[in-house]
Structure 1
Amino acid sequence: MHISAHLSLQPAIALIAGVLILVMPRLLNFIVAIYLIIIGVLGIFPNLLH
């Protein structure tokens, strides 16, 4: 159940990030860095969302 909620959240995050990058291209580094940190933390601690 948590996996499907996580999968439906990723497209929304990607859409918001894409719009922000189009509006303010300098945000690209920060958005990518934050995304990678979140994915890394969730990968190391998979039970964090439970």
Structure 2
Amino acid sequence: MTLHIDLIPVLSIIAGILILIRPKILNYVVAIYLIAIGVIQIFGL
């Protein structure tokens, strides 16, 4: 049995948890998330 996990949903969950734990870092979490998604889409990871 092979477990296949996409990277984008995992990043979304991590970003959501970080925002819930530390709401003051919302701007940084969103910025890092958007940059990561852009890099993933460009390089097709």
- TM-score of the superposed pair, with normalisation by structure 2: 0.61
In structure 1, distance between residues paired with 2:42 and 2:14:
25
TM-score norm. by structure 1 comes to 0.57
Unaligned stretches of 5+ residues in structure 2 = none
Q: Report the CA distance between 1:41 and its aligned residue.
A: 0.4
1: CA distance, partners of 2:13 / 2:40? 20
Unaligned runs of 5+ in 1: none
**Runs of 4+ that moved beyond 2 A:** 12-20
Pairs aligned (count): 42
Measured after TM superposition, the shift of residue 5 of structure 1 is 1.4
